[in-house]
Amino acid sequence: MEFFHVKRDIPFMSYGKLTTAISLATFVIAVFFLVAKGLNFGIEFTGGTVMELRYQKAADLSQIRQQVDGLKLGETQVQSMGSTTDVMLRLPNIKNKNSAQLSAEVLEALKQTRSDVELRKVEFIGPSVGDELFSHGLTALALVCVGIIAYLALRFEWRFAVSAVIANLHDVVIILGFFALFQWEFNLTVLAGILAVLGYSVNESVVVFDRIRENFRKPTLRGKTVPEVIDNAITSTMSRTIITHGSTEFMVLSMLIFGGAALHGFAMALTIGIVFGIYSSVLVASPLLLMFGVTRDNMIKPVKIKEEAVV
């Protein structure tokens, strides 16, 4: 299915140096904000108090969030636990207040509006648990990158694998840079969103790489230069890119707008990641192929034909 047909190839590779410079600049800016401001880690990484509440009737999450914010305890999370009557609160560590004192203060404030609230469970997350989660998250990110390199190296060639990984890491750093710049909370849902973006971006790179490999084998494109072959591959996949990523971005934006605070970080990471995933697959990974010296000769391996004995 092709709704958007482009008759002439768009010369993407002629802007390769410009797009590479822009990517390098945004990468450096993102790293600067990561170093200068750092990430605003959530309770899962820094530690805190988790309260599980139950109401007799449906709970108003916005009202609860407003009451808890009125206590000025810092960055808090209020989310439903699968039903309209069960609510979970995540509270940061407060100096000179232990978990019991903090939960009692919050419960007293909530009972002033709704007396039917009941405290079901209180848990304290220590900093050591947060460090363990952070290290496990980095391990997961590293394993994903190693898996991507191995998969693309086996399916295509090492030049494609390195180009895709550099482009994907570019996406990850850009997302982290946004979270550092605006000090959005970085929690486990955001980490899950980043891992999802990695897989999503790799999928787009594989589609483009597959078309590039096919173009090198097409007799009609044998007289074309390598940049022209890559331009044709990107242009021919544009209809698929617009339809697929447009519909996905529409869904993610709906999640961002209507999903509430619980899904905000996850949806924000995906929203940024999808946009830069398309950009990096087309304007970062593909120019890197030229820089690494992809040619028709190293893409098409000669096939050895066995000579049969004539009887």
Overall pTM > 0.85 = no
**Token pair 């997302």: residue:** 175
Amino acid at 15: Y
pLDDT of residue 304: 44
Predicted local distance difference test score (pLDDT) of residue 180: 93
Taking Cα atoms as reference points, which of 234, 217, 216, 210 lies closest to residue 287? 234
Q: What is the CB-side half-sphere exposure of residue 113 using CA atoms within 13 A?
A: 15
| pLDDT in the model for residue 252 | 93
How high is the pLDDT of residue 148? 78
Cβ-based neighbours of 222, under 8 Å, separated by 6 or more: 296
pLDDT in the model for residue 28: 94
Cα 107 to Cα 54, 88, 97, 111, 122, distances in angstroms? 11, 12, 15, 6, 11
Q: Quick one: which of 70, 14, 105, 67 has its CA closest to 287?
A: 14
The pLDDT value recorded for residue 124 is 81
Q: What is the pLDDT tens value at each position of the chain, 311 positions in all?
A: 556 666 788 888 888 888 888 989 999 999 999 999 988 887 777 778 889 999 999 999 889 989 998 888 877 888 887 788 899 898 888 877 888 888 899 999 999 989 899 999 888 877 665 677 778 877 877 887 788 778 877 887 888 888 888 888 888 899 999 999 998 888 888 988 988 888 888 888 888 888 888 888 888 888 888 899 999 999 988 888 888 888 999 999 999 888 877 788 899 999 999 998 888 888 888 888 888 877 777 665 544 434 444 43
The pLDDT value given to residue 271: 93
Decide if 135 contacts 73 (C-beta within 8 A): no
Q: Looking at 55-177, which runs of residues are DSSP E strands?
A: 77-80, 86-92, 118-125
pLDDT reported for residue 77: 81
